[in-house]
Amino acid sequence: MTDLGTHVLLDLDGCPRELLQDSAALRAGLREAALLGGATIVAEAFHTFDPPAVSGVLLIAESHLSVHTWPDLGKATLDIYTCGSAFDARAAADRLALALRAKRQRRVEVKRGFGAGVADAKAP
């Protein structure tokens, strides 16, 4: 089995609109979660849409964290992907759900890599 990393998919619901349209707060939350998990931040990019919504990515030496928001619906989706075992993706996900004051959350954790417990798709 080749385990290349852990990918946490985090869906949040019931988040305050003002948080979901505030790119500075989202950037700060992703940075805090990354550092809490033990990551090394390399770069970042965030974009605010009109009507207000935000997409952003934090590139870390261990891989990435990303966020996409729907303020009018109170929803956000986040990806936390890490290669290796030094970064604590679960702690980062916990911090992000708390920072965005989610009333509900759904998490899926996927081990990445061939033979890592994920159904393999056949190549065309």
Structure tokens at 100: 């965005």
Closest CA to 21 of 58, 65, 75, 57: 75
Q: What is the dihedral of CA 30, 70, 63, 107, to 10 degrees?
A: 90
Q: Which of 15, 63, 64, 66 is catalytic?
A: 63
To the query of whether residue 83 is one of the catalytic residues in this protein, the response is yes
CB 99 within 8 A of CB 68: no
To the query of whether residue 63 is one of the catalytic residues in this protein, the response is yes
Structure tokens at 38: 């033990």
> What distance in Å separates the CA atoms of residue 109 and residue 65, rounded to the nearest whole number?
14
To the query of whether residue 68 is one of the catalytic residues in this protein, the response is yes
Residues forming the active site: 63, 68, 83
